Structure 1
């Protein structure tokens, strides 16, 4: 059976809910968000914000921590089905500290006094994440035959998609079938010669004859092929923000640390592109540590022999060219709210950089001091230590 397209779901403008009564901050936010083409729904008190969260979908929730009811607004956003995946930005006094804001669910922190320059930097990163999260969940209604191979040795299945997105697909299921667990799925993208094989798991079961499959750690090449196909077949697809240039400071076989002014939140999924002396690596990863205004640590999502070989080759290039500054571009792929999906890919016992990422109690200063000590310690083996990528 060939593919059959159904109706397309139109794209919407990016919208933000702002809870703030400080007129100076509001003026900066309106100007900054307006320049970034992000709509503003201003609420001067928590009750008004809570009402809006139940009525409308927002791509961003921006709250001033000096206002009353801020914790309740952030908690309600996480519990509201339509706003659960909104990007949360907290505006805080430096004396409050980061921990309380992040514990309440903030993804980005903007310090007072709020300047236009700092706000633009933070909201550019937030907008890139907002777009990626919406793109990931945007669905093209299309019917495609899919073969599901049971990884636990059970019988295989043949199903037909109801819709397809970057993060998964909805499929039709025959009566009395209630599949669970992880599967290897195979399908071809309509109108192309691209055949994809992806690991996936059943994520939900509908009340009728349908279920949802979520893709698990798809190879970077497959992710890009699927993304391009979805763009071509969704007439209202919006243009992605360009990748953000940052500096690679530390690299191991399992992780890297990047200097970036507005790092992405912990558990963000990112795509990295590293280039040096004609060698290029594309790698997917998950942000494990984040230090506002400084940088972030990313654990690579794949632990395949091919990925390991590519990183070893890149490390060799950096070792042979000590004065070479590698080029690194990063773009977000979305936020992870499912704990199981964001689990570490390995225990990191043979990777000092990964071990450092998992010492979660460290302050920013203590983390960077430990990172400097790692750089000064000669690795015991080329494949078991972080290599400094810059002085």
Structure 2
């Protein structure tokens, strides 16, 4: 598939189904699945007996990525561990709106690093140690008590980093209508949170005008690659920065950026930006913060706009670097605004229609870095913070 790079898992557990004709007493274990605002509990059984049919129910192995404990520095693979539990696909769901889903694709996103620290003052609570990580995913409904979802439906929204999840707060889910022209995995990327972040940030925060000069950092990532293409469609001049020659080639040869540079090869970021933007920058879409933001402030034009989307360069530093050139906000009357995609949910349907249409018409492309198997998830997530991904990092848990 165009735009997809696959990485195989280092090893496989092998997923099986437990069946038996013998009757056993149920051995019960508990685990909790945590959504951002609510905790729900699920009973997992080693054996399950169906009294209505008089036969044993088939149990499914449920592979999970467990969060081990809070961290202060860059995440490591050892901060997570793989575990196996068992789940009854016919388990009675405790809430009338709950559904049981099989997870197909999971999204690796930098914001998840913030949930690995014991801090409760953010827009989303921290992960809970000894429980599965969670994030955006594409899933298939297996069992439902909710009249809005039936078995076989595809949904996207918050789910666990595991093969099967019980989701109580179904109002945060969006039902997907499969489209032969759009991969399901795009609903955690191009048509998911990263894509909507790019769309809302560029159009609503940056207020672009045709002919303006646009700079995008982390430009080959999940958000940046779409920002640059939207800017080109809007008639802007676009330069992106990234951290490898492979990514620079992607930006210039596949994604249509006017130019791009490897920030790792630049000893003076201010000089680099002056070289690529001799007229100055009208719009800076910031995904990294730190020294790049400081250099951009020196190169903004009067009434320039800075959309502060992420600070991936600073997220894992014990002592984040300060910004020294903030006076330019005054002298050049620059608008600098942080934002979340959730601020603009009223635009989501328009976003889906616009971006789906652009993709189907071949006006935009989207590149994924696809890792195979839940076993690959810890390494894929950690790799985000070392620039190992080329495109949107996705975990394929199961084939559709």
TM-score (norm 2): 0.23
Larger relative contact order, structure 1 or 2 (CA cutoff 8 Å, min sep 6): 2
Higher strand share: 1
